[in-house]
Chain A
Amino acid sequence: GAVVSQHPSRVICKSGTSVKIECRSLDFQATTMFWYRQFPKKSLMLMATSNEGSKATYEQGVEKDKFLINHASLTLSTLTVTSAHPEDSSFYICSAPAGQGVEAFFGQGTRLTVV
């Protein structure tokens, strides 16, 4: 099946710094990717839709200047958490559609801890 690779799997950063998370589709092209955030013992909340060749679409309440999304190619989307604060600590998961959009494949997730 299709594989989505997310990197890093775990990162610790200091408050005020920026962190970049990569999401790659390894054996298929994805013009659209999705970024989700998950708090401990909670569900996944869609943050934004990453669109290759155009601006990302952010969900209501998500700060686009804080969570920068770049869909650099048909196989790579990046999420940069800028000026990170402890409240940005969370589990971030990307997904990409395959199989004509029917299947949703998820990356391994990134555990971000801001200290």
Chain B
Amino acid sequence: ELKVEQNPLFLSMQEGKNYTIYCNYSTTSDRLYWYRQDPGKSLESLFVLLSNGAVKQEGRLMASLDTKARLSTLHITAAVHDLSATYFCAVGGWETSGSRLTFGEGTQLTVNP
């Protein structure tokens, strides 16, 4: 059974600081996704990582994937209040029906002024 673990689950940080969210998964996978969720809303796609060593950046967020370590990271640079949200990683695989995902527990990020 595929398991996906995120840490930390709760993160409170000051504006301007940097931090990293970690996502570990238990079995080989082809795809790693990062999503953002605002309260009461659905998921917003941030990144799709498809290969070992993949790195993608958008604004203050950068995601990377190490398939050998079964680890993905989401790095936040110079945080701003607007980044406050819950961030989920999710894992999928080619052998399954397209985009059947297993989600991590989520990291609730609060950026304080």
Contact = CB atoms under 8 A, between A and B. Distances in A.
Contacts, number: 64
B42 A104 contact: no
Contacts of A64: none
Interface stretch (B11-19, B66-74, B100-108): B100-108
A106 interface: yes
B101 A93 contact: no
Interface residues of B, number: 25
Interface in A24-62: 32, 34, 41-46, 49, 51
A103 B100 contact: no
Contacts of A105: 45
A49 B100 CA distance: 8
A49 B97 contact: yes
B42 A108 contact: yes
B104 A43 contact: yes
Interface of A: 6, 32, 34, 41-46, 49, 51, 93, 95-97, 100-109, 111
| List of 7 A-B pairs having minimum Cβ-Cβ separation, nearest first | A101-B98, A97-B99, A97-B98, A104-B99, A109-B42, A106-B43, A43-B103
18 contacts: A32-B98, A43-B104, A44-B90, A49-B97, A49-B100, A51-B97, A93-B43, A95-B99, A95-B101, A101-B98, A102-B31, A102-B99, A103-B48, A104-B101, A106-B42, A107-B42, A108-B42, A109-B42
